């Protein structure tokens, strides 16, 4: 699957993910039966990407949709594949002497996908997604090394491929003299989080993931990870049979955490949103357009204008904290204060006036 990531240069903030609703499936046949199987595979991939959850396929409504994938896509096309990549899988029934593989590209209808997930009470995650900086110390015997942006080993490749298919903007530090002077391999291995957080300032990521990965007894791969930002961390451990499996499982866990924080849910929130620092009519219109573009916002109504202060009534999917986290990704609005009990937030406009 080729998913377009629009990644800005350092410092990196949130990232706009293109083609969330497009799937590419490697196939060798354009028969009706194979097309339906390939479309079901593509629908599954899109549903996982848009929800951020691997277990989405276990829901009965999703399972039923996978039996009729043609109800959810608007167009498809084929193209010949010269070289099948490591993240592309040929159908299991493909004979050894088969014609050159092709890719079926399927474009699904966003409103139908979103409606299906909402009916199943599953999250819907928009295209504006937080960037995650991976600090990984990999151990092999007595040797330890940090994986940088130029790393091409199995763990780094597997992380990148899985993150791309999940629509998560993941990147590694440059690991140049500036990085190594701020944090050492031993500090990453030991997960000295304060030092690592300070060393990450040059990148301005939305989230940090600090990972220690090593091959242990009986060939098992052990992963310890810490995920978070601004001094708030969650930790976890993985044990997998292979290095690639460990990388894939790690990305899936982090994707689920990101979805839980940023994806809209079936819950509805009505709130009062105040924005100060508005200098004119053009800025007022820009703030209103900005709020309407947020993926979880259902409705925006301007309630009052008083000097440089705007007051909006907003209806949103998910809870108030999810909306605050989503707005924080763009950094156009600076949070001044919030009152969860009164469902009221105050911001200062930092976008263009």
Give the pLDDT confidence of 62-95 residue by residue, as tens digits: 999 999 999 999 999 999 887 655 455 555 555 5
pTM for this entry: 0.84
Under DSSP, the state recorded for 18 is: P
Q: Residue 90's pLDDT is what?
A: 56
Burial of 109 (0-12, 13-18, 19+ CB in 10 A): middle
Of the pLDDT bands very low, low, confident and very high (cuts 50, 70, 90), residue 9 is very low
126: helix, coil or strand? coil
**Confidence category of residue 143, pLDDT binned at 50, 70, 90:** confident
CB of 191 closer than 8 Å to CB of 138: no
Average pLDDT over residues 189-211: 96
Instruction: Answer for the pair 22, 38: CB distance below 8 angstroms, yes or no.
Output: no
Instruction: Please answer whether residues 305 and 289 qualify as being in contact, where contact means their C-beta atoms are separated by less than 8 angstroms.
Output: no
- By the 8 A CB rule, do 47 and 116 touch? yes
- For residue 269, what are the β-bridge partners? 316
Q: Comparing C-alpha atoms, which of 259, 260, 272, 346 is closest to residue 315?
A: 272
Dist CA 300 CA 291 (whole Å): 7
Residue 302 near residue 310, CB atoms below 8 Å: yes
Q: Is 216 exposed, middle or buried (0-12, 13-18, 19+ CB in 10 A)?
A: exposed
Cα–Cα distance for residue pair 325/2, rounded to 1 Å: 28
Secondary-structure breakdown of the chain: helix, strand, coil percentages, each rounded to the nearest 5:
35, 30, 30
């Amino acid at each position: 699957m080729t998913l377009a990531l629009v990644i800005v240069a350092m410092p990196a903030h949130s990232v706009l993910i293109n083609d969330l609703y497009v799937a590419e499936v490697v196939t060798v046949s354009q028969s009706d039966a194979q097309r339906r199987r390939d479309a079901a595979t593509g629908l599954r991939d899109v549903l996982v990407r848009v929800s951020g959850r691997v277990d989405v396929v276990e829901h009965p409504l999703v399972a039923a949709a996978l039996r009729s994938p043609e109800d959810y896509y608007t167009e498809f096309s084929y193209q010949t594949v010269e070289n099948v990549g490591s993240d592309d899988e040929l159908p299991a029934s493909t004979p050894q002497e088969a014609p050159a593989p092709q890719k079926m590209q399927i474009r699904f209808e966003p409103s139908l996908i979103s409606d299906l997930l909402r009916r199943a009470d599953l999250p819907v995650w928009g295209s504006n997604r937080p960037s995650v900086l991976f600090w990984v110390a990999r151990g092999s015997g007595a040797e330890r090394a940090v994986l940088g942006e130029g790393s091409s080993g199995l763990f780094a490749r597997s992380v990148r491929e899985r993150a791309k298919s999940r629509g998560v903007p993941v990147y590694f530090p440059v690991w140049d003299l500036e990085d190594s002077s701020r944090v050492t391999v031993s500090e990453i291995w030991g997960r000295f989080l304060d030092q690592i957080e300070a060393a990450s300032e040059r990148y301005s990521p939305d989230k940090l993931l600090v990972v220690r990965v090593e091959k242990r007894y009986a060939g098992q791969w052990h992963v310890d990870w810490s995920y978070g930002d601004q001094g708030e961390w969650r930790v976890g451990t993985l044990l997998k049979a292979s290095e690639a499996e460990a990388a894939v499982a790690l990305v899936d866990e982090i994707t689920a955490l990101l979805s839980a924080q940023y994806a809209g849910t079936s819950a509805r929130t009505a709130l009062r949103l105040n924005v100060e620092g508005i200098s004119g009519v053009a800025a007022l219109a820009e703030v209103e357009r900005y709020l309407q573009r947020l993926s979880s916002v259902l409705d925006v109504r301007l309630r009052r204008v008083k000097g440089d202060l705007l007051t909006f009534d907003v209806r949103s999917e998910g809870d108030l904290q999810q909306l605050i986290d989503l707005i924080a990704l763009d950094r156009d609005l600076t949070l001044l204060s919030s009152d969860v009990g009164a469902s009221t937030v105050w911001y200062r406009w930092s976008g263009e006036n």
